[in-house]
Amino acid sequence: MTRARTVAVVGAGSWGTALAMVLARNGHSTRLWGRDAAQLSRLQNEHCNATYLPGYQFPDGLSICADLSAALDSAEWVLVCVPSHGFASCLESLAALLKPEAGLVWATKGFEPDTARLLDELVVESRGHRSKRAVLSGPSFALEVAAGLPTAVTLAANTPQVAQELAEVFHDESFRVYTSEDMVGVQVGGAVKNVLAIAAGIADGLIFGANTRAALITRGLAELSRLGGAMGGQPRTFMGLAGLGDLLLTCTDDQSRNRRFGLALAQGESAMDAMAHLGQVVEGYRNSREVMILAERYDIDMPIAAQVYKVLYEDLAPRAAVQALLSRALTREDG
């Protein structure tokens, strides 16, 4: 058993709450903070997150903090679980409160809006190259993590020592953590798979069948790997939990909000209406723009991601997007 730590979790949505529960079950003093004071009051009173994780009571050791400064006080690690479009502003809030020796880990999947920078670049800009930092990603639905069902994830850190230390904080008999030094690959995998899951949802919503879904996942993995490799990620990462594993999960199970978003688009809903009905952030909607920025920047062919972008931002009909993919010129599989 690793020694008990004090951990602050920033972001009280489904994922932040589920990971806070993992940490508290592992014996760590865990403080959960979110920006919605009314929601935090409900979490405190009900001792569960009834909105996102109904039926799962908070373990001992998990406390709700309405004040960010109090949540961060003496925290050895801070876990950030906010949407990617709010990541930069979250870092700004933390900058004045977080001690230099505290470590920062994030479970956010995405890029910085408009610039398409990796979130690690924002962390380095805010806290410096020598700061302890890591990213947690992989095939993991919050509800199943809260339920204590077996889950395996990847944790990539800027040094092997940081990865090992933090893996021991998270790891238990139902939440298995594999370590990595490939922070680039893990971040790219977690972001791009959201865009591909929208494509899978569209195809399934149009009743194109299992063959189509398998083709989309396989060719989508090729797109993800090409982009990630160009950005400096390692091939084995894309074939692991943070790449293929997460892609399979989000493309095939309706717990994935990105997949459900694609299903709704296929049924004729607008992007705005579909997101409103889901009631949660759909990272793939925003990520599709950044993926196209990166594809152009690195001169990478990403036809599936490109069609998703056209559906979302150029009003291309979902069926026409699939037809455009099918009508592409013949090519080698490794092309």
Active-site residues: which are they?
193
Give per-residue burial for 50-70: e unless 16+ CB within 10 Å, then b. ebbbeebebbebbbbbeebee
User: Given CA atoms 208, 320, 331, 285 in this order, what sign does their dihedral have?
Assistant: negative
Beta strands, E only, the chain: 6-10, 29-33, 62-64, 77-80, 103-106, 133-137, 151-157, 175-180
Contact (CB, 8 A) for 328 and 303: yes
Cα(23)–Cα(7) distance, integer angstroms: 8
Contact (CB, 8 A) for 6 and 74: yes
Q: Provide the CA 122 distance to its chain's centre, in angstroms.
A: 16
Cα(167)–Cα(25) distance, integer angstroms: 15
Q: At 57, is the secondary structure helix, strand, or coil?
A: strand
Contact (CB, 8 A) for 308 and 289: no
**Strand duo 29-33 + 6-10: pairing:** parallel
Give, in degrees to the nearest 5, the angle at Cα 139 between 257 and 143.
60
| DSSP category for residue 4 | P
Helix (H) / strand (E) element for 260: namely helix 257-266
Q: Residue 279 contacts by C-beta under 8 Å, 6 or more apart in sequence?
A: none
Contact (CB, 8 A) for 194 and 246: no
The CA-to-CA distance between both ends of the chain, in Å, stands at: 47
| DSSP category for residue 241 | I
